[in-house]
Amino acid sequence: AVPGAFTPTCSAKHLPGYVEHFDEFRKRGIEVLCTAVNDPFVMQAWGRSQLIPDGLHLLPDGNAELARALGLEIDASGSGMGLRSRRYALYADDAVVKALFV
């Protein structure tokens, strides 16, 4: 997860790492999803601008429901961004969280 689509660090550093290693994840049978507190239209535009490969799914968390359910929300109101998600990587197997890196 990243705090927001089109933010400089998320666009230049975080998402490109997943794109770079996407084939390695797929070979291991790992489905890759990236979530951010944005609406579906923003996530779709971000994916196109970042040239993400087919199969790498961008998951909108428009109301920060996932971030809150995981206890990983942050208040970025001081930066004008409102409620956002922390940066994290989560590995789950059959809907059971096996590892969480924040």
* Residues marked as catalytic: 10
d(C-alpha 1, C-alpha 72), whole Å: 10
Q: What residues contact 66, with CB distance under 8 A and at least 6 apart?
A: 1, 35, 59, 85
Q: What residues contact 82, with CB distance under 8 A and at least 6 apart?
A: 37, 75, 76
CA 82 to chain centre: 17
d(C-alpha 100, C-alpha 6), whole Å: 24
